[in-house]
Chain A
Amino acid sequence: MNRLAVTLAPLILAASAFSAQAQDPHAGHTMPAQTRPAPAPPSQTPARPPAQDPHAGHVMPPAQNPPATDPHAGHRMPAQTAPIDPHAGHDMPAPAPAQPNPHAGHDMSAMAPAQTDPHAGHDTSAMNMGPPDTPTSADTPGRPPEDPLPAAALIAPTHAADLVFGAEAMAASRRTLVRENGDVRTTAVIIDRLEVGFGDDDESYLWDVQGWSGGDINRFWWKSEGEGDFGGEFEEAELQALYSRAVTPFWDLQTGVRQDFRPDGEDTTHLVLGLQGLAPHWWEIDAAAFLSTDGDLTAGVEAEYDQRITQRLILQPRLEIDASASDIPELEIGSGLSSVEAGLRLRYEFRKEFAPYVGVEWSRAFGETADYIEARGGETDDTRFVVGLKAWF
């Protein structure tokens, strides 16, 4: 059980980040009107707007235009600049010009006087006192019901243009309208890492590529990673085919299958359940648990952050942690924390889609995983210099 906990820890960590932002005690609740003291009497609503007008009842001298006639009608230039202009002759100094922060260091109470005269220095007779602050849901506890729709607003037809052009002619264009206003489909391919690594006595290659196709919520997502030694042989590769669903503003839930390819024939197949998205502070997270057809449960989490040094030069720390719930000797994976990779890559975005990089990658195997590697005389600790390309289209 412990092992399971270790295995799932990355996923849980990611999930908690996910839920932290998703958590909303009221999500999904319908808030009955009883959360409010009492529903506002309908008659109050029409009365509200005029009451908010701070100028209601004020005499605004420049506003007293003779009723409907146009004071400017027929006037030529001189009249234009003459007394009708409420601002004529006013200097209208840029309101509160450039005082950097006159209230710095004041506490909130000190703000009150300042608030009383936002137009200090203006001739307020010609200026209004600022727009009325119409209350909105944010000002009201609970989610107050909205004013009911007048019944006449629901009178047929459903679509006015059907009366003129016929329902058939309109139906096709309505479908287009729906498609063109929100139903955007995209297909992306992201080459996150395509790199060559230089170790103490070997040179390796690696790819880490993914892509998607679909709308905003539902996407087909695929991922592929693989690595090998130049001169030696290709070590392993994996390909995932996932259904991805956006579940919160920043997180996608992904599920599907992963197929591994190894030269020695251990081509395992896994079920995948993952979470991919953006954690606070712009960390890109990809966490997943894998259940193999042999019943082995493993998990991994990757985190990347882009630190812009300039607009084009970007330093990217990257962390990958893998763990397993079971011993899988044939894959040299022991239970518990199996490996950690930490990398630092410096890339230059010639274009946003094309950024070569250099970096270092440190990796280390732990626990029984390390034991397996040591047993065959391998290194459990590796540091290599990498050169590669990040690209997308």
Chain B
Amino acid sequence: MSTPRLDRRTLLRGAAAGGGLLGLQGLLPAWAQTGSAGLRADLPTLTGPNIDLTVGHTPFTVGGRTGHAVTINGVLPAPLLRLREGQNVRLSVANTLDEDTSIHWHGLLVPFQMDGVPGISFPGIRARETFVYEFPIKQSGTFWYHSHSNLQEAMGHYGPIVIDPAGPDPVAYDREHVLVLSDWSFMHPHEILAKLKKSPGYFNQQRTTLSGLMDGSDRMSLEERRMWGQMRMDPRDILDVSGSTYTYLINGHGPQENWTGLFRPGERVRLRIINASAMSIFNIRIPGLPMTVVQADGENVRPVETDEFQISVAETYDVIVQPTEDRAYTIVSEAIDRSGMGRATLAPRLGMTAEVPPLREVPNLTMRDMGMGGMDHGAMGDMSGMDHGAMAGMDHAAPAQNAPAVGEMAGMSMSGMNMRDPENAPPDMAVGVGVDAIAMDPANRLGERPIGLTNVDHRVLVYTDLVSLQPNKDQRPPSRTMEIHLTGNMERFMWGFDGRKFSELVEPIRFERNERVRVTLVNDTMMAHPIHLHGHFFELVTGGPAGHQPLKHTVNVAPGGKVTFDLTADAPGDWAFHCHMLMHMHAGMFNVVTVRPMDGAAR
């Protein structure tokens, strides 16, 4: 086991190689350095039964500017942990910060007290103390780890985990690369949050304007604009924090630094893609190279070939690509609001680059994003105030491949509809200041292309394409249903579950141990929320092949949409359940899940 620390030799090597950017290479783990040949056992990743990690402050340079990062072992991203299914691992985490820290092993099934959430799993790791995590590795696949303290994750405290299966890997590949996607800002995350509290549109430099209306570039009629204005909603509020402050990183490299992974033509290359961003959802594509998705969130899926997929915060996808030509390919991680992109290159040799596609046009939100999406499902009766004639063009039939622009409802009177009717929410939901809307007719959008990709002329992965390779372990029908609303007030930047912020001392979400529950998440807001449940994988109810529902630790709930999953609550203890948009979580979209009784729980 060796740790890629910034040492004199590394610096000298960098200097000898020409200084400049290369001088920074020592700040990156070897697999993340520009020109990685791929993951190999002899590369300085951290493996074995005993691993030492040190959390500390490190300067971080990107785009020629240096800022302050919180890192593990001095590198950003943190070292790759390469483990093997069936082993035990002992991870000793030393905290050299002046504040508490923690590490959560995202997606790993561990005893609750090893899950790393201060205040739920353990007390946290105090300044200048060391905590030893120890647990058996019961899975294989691509995962990641990050801080669950304060907003450290947004400052660089994240890294990848790869677990090799105990037996043969059902996914065949000749070479693999890890791609850790993230968003870096020189603005401190607390300042980012303060800006959002004072001015929720602060980072949005792509709002609708008068000139955009005049020259048509906003693609929105006056009528539509009036409707959005009446609701006090912003049709361009797609990501709260954007490329106006973020540099989108791939393996710690900005777009100019162009991380490059090598391949030999004809090889099957496995890309293990992790979205370790604080606030950014990406669309991933490699122009000219189809991708076969073989794993999602560390769980194998039936291979499905696609040209582009969306990866929400905290999700992971493994894809196989097989470049046959002796040329470079650009890996594009475009922020979904098209305010910027991460860029990396796959090439046979260092120094080769491929064309970098320009940013595509900003998408506008649609009425489906307002929670009025299910209107094609016979819910029209609820909308007596609407002029049906004016709704021509509401083509939801082909699952929203052409989600209508709001203006297609031109003439429809918004006054006839209550966008915040408590009757559309469960009885225990608090409909107060923190709830600016309640979805009137949330649509199941698992089969829809995500925002901005509805009209691209190539294949796009949707959640319903995911089919678990292995049969689901628990095929009992659910004995109980549960509805949880994702709520918010965009204007006040308040976020919560069922109308409450966690700080309002909410009741936990309780499960009986081993009970099987069908949970439906309803997104009352107009933003996407990647919802993550600790300690469990849930099965997305996609309507796919019976007994092969895809397993996820994090699911992106589309604006105004709903997601249903089946959960077997088989991990006793207390677990975090939250939106993985870090600022949404910090603003209250967080709760505790309890699984009882504890009897026989691993201790």
Contact = CB atoms under 8 A, between A and B. Distances in A.
Contacts of A31: 423, 427
A392 interface: yes
B542 A184 contact: no
B534 to A, nearest CB: 12
A2 interface: no
A375 interface: no
A143 B422 contact: yes
B460 to A, nearest CB: 7
B420 to A, nearest CB: 7
B interface bracket (residues with beta carbon within 8 Å of A): 35 or more
B427 A94 contact: no
Contacts of B471: 65, 67-68
A178 to B, nearest CB: 5
A367 B484 CA distance: 57
Interface string A81-120: 1001111100010111111111111111001001100111
B481 A45 contact: yes
Nearest to B197: A186
B570 interface: no
Given A136-B442, A282-B229, A180 B586 contact: yes
B64 interface: no
Contact of A27 (B376, B431, B546, B597): B431
Interface stretch (A52-60, A201-209, A356-364, A380-388): A52-60
A73 B470 CA distance: 11
Contacts of B426: 137, 143-144, 146
B515 interface: yes
A85 to B, nearest CB: 5
A80 B393 contact: no
Interface string A22-37: 0010110011000000
B357 interface: no
Query: Chain A interface secondary structure, helix, strand, loop or mixed?
Result: loop
Interface string B484-500: 00000101101010000
Interface string B375-406: 01101100000001101111111110110100
A152 interface: yes
B198 A173 contact: no
B546 A182 contact: no
Nearest to A77: B172
A159 B465 CA distance: 39
B100 interface: yes
A300 to B, nearest CB: 23
Most buried by B among A50, A102, A136: A136
Contacts of B254: none
B455 interface: yes
Contact of B597 (A60, A152, A182): A152
Nearest to B426: A137
Given A92-B305, A182-B504, A108 B226 contact: no
A216 B494 contact: yes
A131 B304 contact: no
A256 B193 CA distance: 29
Contacts of B513: 152
Contacts of B596: 152-156
Given A153-B596, A180-B150, A246-B492, A132 B433 contact: no
B302 to A, nearest CB: 6
Interface in A48-76: 48-50, 53-56, 60, 62-63, 65, 67-68, 70-76
B594 A142 contact: no
Contact of B496 (A70, A145, A176, A182): A182
B512 interface: yes
Contacts of B440: 138
Given A152-B513, A170-B123, A186 B194 contact: yes
Contact of B120 (A85, A86, A142, A161): A161
Interface residues of A, number: 128
B544 interface: yes
B588 interface: yes
Nearest to B173: A77
Given A77-B268, A134-B518, A216 B433 contact: yes
A182 B477 contact: no
B459 A164 contact: no
A13 interface: no
Most buried by B among A31, A47, A145, A176: A176
Nearest to A32: B427
Contacts of A150: 480, 512, 515
B597 A172 contact: no
B447 A130 contact: yes
A174 B120 CA distance: 7
Contacts of B391: 108
A149 interface: yes
A179 interface: yes
Contacts of A118: 397-399, 447
A250 B573 CA distance: 39
A307 interface: yes
B176 interface: no
Contacts of A164: 113, 122, 603
20 contacts: A49-B566, A60-B546, A72-B172, A85-B304, A94-B458, A96-B401, A108-B380, A111-B397, A114-B395, A120-B398, A128-B543, A128-B545, A131-B447, A131-B464, A136-B562, A163-B598, A188-B198, A246-B433, A310-B209, A311-B207
Given A164-B603, A181-B578, 8 more contacts: A46-B478, A75-B172, A92-B459, A101-B395, A103-B392, A106-B392, A160-B573, A308-B210
Interface of A: 21, 24, 26-27, 30-31, 45-50, 53-56, 60, 62-63, 65, 67-68, 70-77, 79-81, 84-88, 92, 94-108, 111, 114-115, 118-120, 128-134, 136-139, 141-147, 149-150, 152-157, 159-161, 163-165, 169-170, 172-184, 186, 188, 216-217, 246-250, 278, 280-282, 307-311, 315, 352, 392
Closest 8 CB pairs of A and B: A177-B119, A182-B588, A182-B501, A182-B503, A63-B545, A72-B170, A114-B397, A183-B503
